[in-house]
Amino acid sequence: MNNQLIIEELFNLMGYMLTSAKGLFSEPKEYGPLRLVEGVSRLCSILTAMDKDNRSFYLDLQAKIDESKFSVMSNKEEFERMLEHSVSKYTDKLKEQ
């Protein structure tokens, strides 16, 4: 991924985060965690293209998030399990650094 494309993707993520923050004042409270994990999913896409050494980590994390992110609206326990799993995988990866 070239620098211009990375800049464009990050700029789009910035817009998503800003409009999400604005929307949270009037949206259901469940949208907050949903929007945060959506932001992580989008970051995984960017990092997958930039960091070939950790590509499988980003792809796996993104897949797990995308598989369960909408469960926050109907099955909060499933959403919380996904978050616990994602945080655990992240901290394991962090320890490797």
17: its two tokens: 């985060």
Share of the chain above pLDDT 90, in %: 96
Query: What residue type is assigned to position 9 of the chain?
Result: E
Separation between Cα atoms, residue 63 and residue 89, nearest integer Å: 13
Q: Is residue 1 very low, low, confident or very high in pLDDT (cuts 50, 70, 90)?
A: confident
Q: Helix H segments across the chain? A: 3-23, 31-50, 55-68, 76-96
Share of the chain above pLDDT 70, in %: 100
pLDDT at residue number 97 = 87
Match 């999913």 to its residue by tokens: 41
